[in-house]
Amino acid sequence: MSNDRIKGMKSLTIVSPDDMHLHVRDGASLPYVVPHSSRQFSRAIIMPNLVPPVTQVKQAIAYQQRILAAVPPGLNFLPLMALYLTETTPVSEVINAANHPDIIGFKLYPAGATTHSGAGVNSLNRIYPLFEAMQEHQVPLLCHGEVTDKDIDVFDRERVFIEQELIPIRRTFPDLRIILEHITTREAVDFILGNNENTAATITAHHLMYNRNAMFKGGIKPHLYCLPLLKRNIHQQALIRAAISGDSRFFLGTDSAPHSKSRKEQSCGCAGCYTAHAALALYVEVFEDNNALDKLEGFASKHGAAFYGLQQNQSTLTLVRKPWTCPDHYEFNNDSLIPIAASEQLNWQVEHTQQSN
C-alpha cells in the first residue's frame, strides 16, 4: 500500500482487490451490474443461487461466459464460480469442481434460509459424505450460516447455526476449508478466532456500516433488508474490529445482491442490499473512520486470495478522496435498482481501473 500522506490521506493505492462474495443474477440483469464490480475488482466469487440453481461445473462455466460478455471492454475481471450444494450433489461433481481452476467451491444454503435457497439442504447430516469428499479433494465450503427453524428468533439464526451445525462440521472435518459468509455477529467473529487457519469469514460493507437501528430509522427501510439481518450495535462493533484487525481470516465479500425497486418495496419485499456500485468507497470509509486505512489492502486484496490459494493480483488500484454524490437509483431491466447510500455523499472514489493482470 502506498499513500501520499498518512493523516488526512488523499489517495490510497492498493493491490487490486477481489470481491469474495457477489450476486449478479443472470440474463438481462448482467449488463446493469457486472460493470460496477468489474471497475473495482479484479476477481469476484459469483454466487450460484439462480433459478434453477447452478449445481454443475458445466452450468457454472456457461454462466461465467455470460458474465464475461457483460464486462466492459478493456477491463480485466475474472468471475470465479461457486456451485450450489444440494442433497443430491454427486461426489463426482466434487471431483469435477476440484479439477477446474475457475470453480472455487460449493455454496451451502440451508433450505429456506434466504433468496432462492429452496433447492438447498434440509438436513446437513445427509451431506456429510460430500463434506468428506470436499475435504479430501480440497474443495472449499462456503456457508450461508443460518438455521431456518421457525422457532428460532431471526436475530439468533447465525449464532444457533454456529452452535448446532458449524461446530460439529468443523470438528468432524478439520482439514475442510470453511468460509462463513457475510458474518453478522460477535459469536461468528469468536468462532473464526477460535479455529485454525482452515476457517475464514467474509464481511460485507453494509454489516460494517449499519446496525439494525438503521433498518427502522424514521420508518421501515426495505433497501437495508438483507439476510442475515443487520444486528445490534455490539455485533457491528465486533465486525469492525475483525475487519480492521489485520487477521488474514477476515476478508472482503460484498454480498451485493441486486433486486429491482418494485421487488424490494412491496408487502413482501425480498432480501438483499446493492453495494456493488460503490463497494470500495463504502469499505474505505469504514476503515478511515476507524483509523485503519493501512489495513484495507490486506482485507480487500490479500487475505481472500491467500485463503483460496489464488495468486495475488499483479495490478493496483488507486482510490482518491474526491467527494461525489451517489445516484438515487440505477437503471435495472425495466425497473430501477436502489443502491446503498442512495443520494448520499461518499468521500472516496476509484481513480484508475486496474491494469492488465
Which residues are catalytic, by number?
255
Residue 203 near residue 243 (C-beta atoms within 8 A) = yes
Residue 145 CA: distances (Å) to CA of 250, 253, 351: 15, 14, 35
CB of residue 279 to ligand DOR, shortest distance in Å: 15
Cβ of residue 1: shortest distance to ligand DOR, in angstroms?
31
Q: Considering CB distances under 5 to 8 angstroms, the limit depending on partner class, which of Zn ion, ligand DOR, none binds residue 170? A: none
Site string for Zn ion, 29-48 (x = CB under 5 A): ------------------x-
| Secondary structure of 212-266 in HEC code, one letter for each residue | HHHHHCCCCCHHHCCCCCCCCHHHHHHHHHHHCCCCCCEEECCCECCCCHHHHCC
* For ligand DOR, the closer CB: 15 or 162: 162
Minimum distance, C-beta of residue 42 to Zn ion, in the bound complex (Å): 20
**Phi/psi at 128 (nearest 5 deg)?**
-55, -35
Rounded-to-10 torsion of CA 144, 305, 299, 230: -10
Tell me whether residue 97 or residue 113 sits nearer to ligand DOR (CB atom).
113
CB of 152: closest distance to ligand DOR in angstroms?
17
Name the minimum Å distance from CB 108 to ligand DOR. 11
Which residues share a beta bridge with 330? Answer: 337
Binding site for ligand DOR (CB under 6 A): 23, 49, 114-116, 144, 226-227, 257, 271-272
Q: Are 330 and 43 in contact (CB under 8 A)?
A: no
Give the Å distances, CA to CA, from 7 to 48, 291, 321. Answer: 41, 9, 12
Please say which residue, 12 or 337, places its beta carbon nearer to Zn ion: 337
Looking at the Cβ atoms of 40 and 115, the one nearer to ligand DOR is: 115
Q: What is the DSSP string of 24-68?
A: --SGGGHHHHHHHHHTT-SEEEEP---SS---SHHHHHHHHHHHH
- Interface of this chain with Zn ion, residues 243 to 302, rule: CB under 5 A: 255
Give the rounded distance of the alpha carbon of 226 from its chain centre. Answer: 12
Instruction: Between 86 and 115, name the residue whose CB sits nearer to ligand DOR.
Output: 115
Angle, helices 30-38 vs 57-68, to 10°: value is 80
Q: Which does 94 bind (CB under 5 to 8 A by kind): Zn ion, ligand DOR, none?
A: none
Three-class DSSP category at 137: helix
Please give the residue ranges that form the binding site for Zn ion (CB under 5 A).
47, 255
